[in-house]
Structure 1
Amino acid sequence: EGQACGLVKNLALMATISVGSPSAPVIEFLEEWGLENLEENAHSTNLTKVFVNGVWMGIHRDPFNLVRTMRTLRRRDDISPEVSIVRDIRERELRIYTDAGRVCRPLFIVEDHELKLKREHIKWLQQKHKDPEPGPPIMIKDPQTGEESEKGPEPFTWHSLVKAGAIEYLDAEEEETVMICMTPDDLVESRLMRQGLDPRAESDFDPAARLKSVSTAHTWTHCEIHPSMILGICASIIPFPDHNQ
């Protein structure tokens, strides 16, 4: 009788919708990077199929290095940050998406159990520009008036963090192929366990301290910007959502 029924989906905080980018540069890169023809290797079982936007483009013999190279290019902004690179090892498939309409959300990049985000990035964000480089000032000439003026510091914004390789946008399908820790504290624990130390073997137990979940995986690739970023705007304003009533 006109009741509100069905599934209501809320967009997570900080999530964005991909606007799409041309697939031609990605296909051109794949052809230069060892993409082989379909007809010649149609019956090979140990090769990886490469799909671009759902279209089977060819096969590749070294998918590990191909994925690593493409992710490096994406983090340097040579490939659009919205491009999704999904490697399905079990199915021997590499799926690349450049189309519009995919929901992506930003995550911190983790390498060797360390965040790629550094203190200087936070400092530059707060002052909205990078520190001026040492040495004599760089003079630039105005093409219209011909006057010379000193070049100001390089501006630093959210997109600069993405270009610096500190933050990466992942869509839902690529998110299933990575390991995401909730807080940087999980990285501290994994570093201690890597050194053979037990991070929970502390004599001074604080009963008022916040309980942490026991992490079983210690090979993280990404870190949440904040745990509440997995929620939508409606769920994030519920008071004490992790408590029973």
Structure 2
Amino acid sequence: DGGRLCRPLLVVEGGKLRLRPIHLDQLQMGLKSLTDLIREGVVEYVDVNEENNCFVALSGGREGRGLTALHTHMEIDPLTLLGVVAALVPYPHHNQSPRNTYQCAM
């Protein structure tokens, strides 16, 4: 048994992202890693059961605008919701659902 699938989400507290511009700068310079952000509580791995009690924002803009006090997490990128294969399907919102499913299974 490999365990339960989890996915990383950005933590939101009081309608504000815990991720700050300094974190992004340190990531780009190689001074921090994803593990450091997890230790600091900026990123959290959430499984399916935990997600039932979360209010996840699809996106909140670059600075986290559009988040409310009810939000608990935010997607790192809106495409991560789909998964790797589904994200590669061109214009999935213009296709019928069976076509998208077929393309993901190829």
| TM-score scaled by length of structure 2 | 0.79
* Alignment length (residue pairs): 94
**Paired letter, 1:236:** A
Paired residue type of 2:35: H
SS of the equivalent of 2:45 reads strand
Cα distance in 2 for residues equivalent to 1:230 and 1:183: 11
The 1-side partners of 2:95 and 2:30 are apart by 42
Please say if 1:127 is aligned against 2:29.
yes
The one of 53, 57, 64 equivalent to 1:181 is 57
Moved over 4 A (4+): none
Matched residue, 2:93? 242
CA distance in 2, matches of 1:184, 1:107: 13
Q: Which runs of 5+ in 1 are unaligned?
A: 1-18, 20-99, 130-155, 192-217
Output the amino acid matched with 2:29: Q
Taking a change above 3 Å as real, the CA distance of residues 226 and 167 of structure 1, as seen in their structure-2 partners, is same
Distance 1:241 1:174 in 2: 28
Instruction: State how far apart, in whole Å, the 1-side matches of 2:67 and 2:82 are.
Output: 26
Alignment of 1:96-111 (within 5 A): 101-111=3-13
Q: Distance in 2 between matches of 1:165 and 1:190?
A: 18
Q: Deviations over 1:194-241 (max 9, x none)?
A: xxxxxxxxxxxxxxxxxxxxxxxx610000111110112221110011
- Pairing 1:141-156 to 2, within 5 Å after superposition: 156=32
Q: Does 1:225 align with 2:76?
A: yes
Identical aligned residues as a percent: 35
How far did 1:244 drift?
4.3
Higher relative contact order (CA 8 A, sep 6+): 2
Change (3 A) 1:241 1:114: same
1:42 is aligned to none
Question: How does 1:1-245 map onto structure 2 within 5 Å?
Answer: 101-129=3-31, 156-185=32-61, 188-190=65-67, 219-244=70-95
Q: Which structure is larger by alpha-carbon Rg, 1 or 2? A: 1
What is the one-letter code of the residue matched to 2:83? Answer: G
For 2:77 and 2:30, the matched residues in 1 are separated by 22
Structure number with the higher helix fraction is: 2
**1:157–1:190 CA distance, 2 compared to 1 (3 A):** closer
Q: CA RMSD in A?
A: 2.0
The unaligned stretches of length 5 or more in structure 2 are 97-106
**Contact 2:16–2:67, Cα closer than 8 Å, also in 1:** no
Q: Which residue of 2 aligns with 1:74?
A: none
Q: What is the TM-score normalised by the length of structure 1?
A: 0.36
